[in-house]
Amino acid sequence: MIAAIIMVVFPFSMIFAALSDVFTMTIGNRISAVLIGAFLVVAPFIGLSWAEFGWHVAAFALVLAVTFALFATGTMGGGDAKLLASTSLWMGLGPSLLDYLLWATVWGGIFTLFLVFFRKSSLAVYAGEIPILRRMIDERDVPYGVALAIGGLIAFPQSPAMTWALAQVAG
């Protein structure tokens, strides 16, 4: 049951966050709350020591502090900041967090370049007629939740929770 929660909640939350950001340019608080709540539910069952659990909380706090500063300066959206921090709780302060940050940065750059070129292309005129895509063309912001979701989904298999879940399923 715990393995199923791990294998469903995190990926579903990341995909939902990406889609929400694309279609509404917002990432709701509920997504971050679900990620935090689910981690707190599964953490006691996946063999984390108190020290390891503390490192996961430290990753969350550190990333939240940095992203809050970025939000305060207008560099990052509030939903992105909370999603990044709540995802970091799952990754812990270790290699999976570094993988997550690296992949989110790489995909963020790729997605941003794509949007810049797309918004300046003649396709933007035609895409603007489609209500779902109009917001992506009209906005100056980038729905960075897409990159955060892709980075999270790439890094998640190496996270402590998913490593545990895969071991449970394997036998």
pLDDT number for residue 167: 96
Contacts of 114 (CB under 8 A, 6+ apart): none
Q: How far apart are CA 29 and CA 116, in angstroms?
A: 28
Tens-level pLDDT at each residue, the chain (171 residues): 999 999 999 999 999 999 999 888 999 999 999 999 999 999 999 999 999 999 999 999 999 999 999 999 999 999 999 999 999 999 999 999 999 999 999 999 999 999 888 888 888 777 777 777 777 777 778 899 999 999 999 999 999 999 999 999 997
Question: What is the pLDDT at residue 19?
Answer: 96
Left if phi > 0, otherwise alpha if psi is -120 to 50, otherwise beta: which for 11?
A: alpha
CA distance 150 to 146: 6
Tens of pLDDT, residues 63-100: 999 999 999 999 999 999 999 999 999 999 999 999 99
Q: Report the candidate in 140, 94, 146 with the shortest Cα–Cα distance to residue 116.
A: 140
Write out the two tokens for 107. 């995909």
Long-range contacts of 104-108 (CB under 8 A, 24+ apart): 104/147, 104/148, 104/150, 104/151, 104/152, 105/147, 105/151, 106/151, 107/146, 107/147, 107/150, 107/151, 108/142, 108/144, 108/147, 108/148, 108/151
Inter-residue contact 145 to 111 (CB < 8 Å): no
pTM: 0.92
Res 141: pLDDT? 83
